[in-house]
Amino acid sequence: MSENPKTITPLSARLSFGEKFRLQTWLMGIIAFAVVLFLLVQAKFILISLAIAIILFSLTSDAINSIQRMKIGNLRVTNWVASVLAVVLIASGLLTMAGLVISQINTVLTTTLAYTDDAQRAIAQMFAWMGEDVEASVLATVRSIEISGYLRSAAGQAGSLLSQVVLIILFVGFLFAERVWFNTKLENLMGDTAQAGRVNRIIGSIIRRVNRYLLVKALISAVTGALIFALVSVFNLQFAAAMGLLTFVLNFIPSVGSIIATLVLTLVAYIQVTEPSTAVLIFVIAGMIQFLLGNVIDPMLMGKTLRLSSFGIIISLAFWGAVWGVPGMFLAVPFMVAVMIVCSHIPAARPVAVLLSREGLPEEEFPLSPAQTAANAEERQYAKAIGAE
């Protein structure tokens, strides 16, 4: 007597409509994330320039509005005059900074070859306490590294810096040309004056927080870089300007930037001095400077501007560093601030804002109107109804 074979029910037949909808949503989300990630990596040169241009535009937009309200006698500064003045100042500052960075990179690259042997021996001597065999092995390993290849790569990146600066200037110029029509475009896009005003206030909140963060970071980084420059100069070491500039730049990377700057400074000092105790002293002084300015003065000036989770900042640094490299690490915190503020005003995405915030209580600066609250309630009820089917 033969048994009937068991019939296998397809997975689609065993799932309810709500389960199918959720599964389809998750799959589409994963595909969309993969496509966006691919585009971020492939177009990173343009997107990094655009992100920096938007930040520079937001930093100077309030200043432009203040200039427009100024009067010189009976004459008022027009919008295009103020915009042209801002673009000229930004272009001058960027080109000056790029020239300074390129000149310091060239100085470091030309001098590095003279210190290659000393640097290799100094690194090997750090492992002398483990025995002569270990020291010799480390020395052989360090000498096997192709230094010239890294130097050529650094020179190539320095050369591409100028082209990226020119692209940033072009983006800033076009943003200033379009700023007059932004509110009109936003109202036409949203189709509702109240909703457009709410979106405009959210954008203003993002700009204010990011601007305060960048201004405080710039001040703290400038003071730290100047003190490191003075420290290196007091000990009569080379690369004082390069170490000060490196400290200024790396301090914009939260948490890890100051650590990297201090370790690089200590290694440079250890290569040049004859006494290891001098290098240790420089390390201690530089660490005290970084701790005082970064962990005491910086939080006092920053206040409750960010309210970001420390773990979230590390995750953001890792993600954007993997996608865009070092520039992504500089932009990680502004991106995270924008995401947290936007998600805090979207009921469905508010859990994301809770996870990104420090206390788990991201404030909602602009409460919803009764009509918007009712619309959001209807959307949640519709989503629950779909999930229950």
Q: Between residues 285 and 67, which one has the greater pLDDT?
A: 285
Look at the chain and count its residues: 389
Q: Between residues 231 and 297, which one has the greater pLDDT?
A: 231
The strand pair at 75-76 and 71-72 is best described as antiparallel
Token pair of 312, please?
Answer: 């979230």
CA separation for the pair 180, 79 (Å, rounded): 8
How much is the pTM?
0.76
Name the region of 119 (left: φ>0; alpha: ψ -120 to 50; beta: rest): alpha
Quick one: how far is CA 240 from the chain centroid? 26
Query: Tell me, what's the pLDDT at 197?
Result: 83
**Residue-wise pLDDT tens digits, 204-257:** 888 888 888 888 888 999 999 999 999 999 988 888 888 898 899 889 888 788
Q: How far apart are the first and last CA of the chain?
A: 42
Do 87 and 172 meet the contact criterion of CB atoms below 8 Å apart? yes
- Residue 138: pLDDT band by 50, 70, 90 thresholds? confident
CB neighbour list of residue 164: distance below 8 Å, 6 or more residues apart: 45, 48, 49
Do 105 and 154 meet the contact criterion of CB atoms below 8 Å apart? yes
CA separation for the pair 123, 374 (Å, rounded): 66
CA separation for the pair 327, 115 (Å, rounded): 28
Q: Between residues 269 and 3, which one has the greater pLDDT?
A: 269
Alpha helices in 251-345 (DSSP H): 256-272, 276-292, 298-302, 310-324, 326-344
Residue 24: how many CB atoms within 10 A of its CB?
10
Q: Using the predicted structure, report yes or no on whether residue 289 has a pLDDT greater than 70.
A: yes
**Residue-wise pLDDT tens digits, 108-130:** 766 666 666 667 777 777 777 77
Q: Angle 222-228-271 (CA atoms, 0-180°, nearest 5)?
A: 140
DSSP SS3 for 115? helix
CA separation for the pair 120, 155 (Å, rounded): 21
Residue 365: how many CB atoms within 10 A of its CB?
13
Query: Tell me, what's the pLDDT at 227?
Result: 94
Query: Tell me, what's the pLDDT at 387?
Result: 47
Token pair of 205, please?
Answer: 């909140």
**Residue-wise pLDDT tens digits, 16-72:** 667 777 778 888 889 988 999 999 989 888 999 999 999 888 888 777 777 767 766
Query: Tell me, what's the pLDDT at 1?
Result: 47
**Residue-wise pLDDT tens digits, 328-380:** 888 988 888 888 888 888 777 788 888 888 776 665 554 555 555 555 455 45
Name the region of 191 (left: φ>0; alpha: ψ -120 to 50; beta: rest): left
**Residue-wise pLDDT tens digits, 153-172:** 666 666 678 888 889 999 98
Query: Tell me, what's the pLDDT at 383?
Result: 45
DSSP 235: T
Query: Tell me, what's the pLDDT at 125?
Result: 72
**Residue-wise pLDDT tens digits, 85-105:** 888 888 898 888 888 887 777
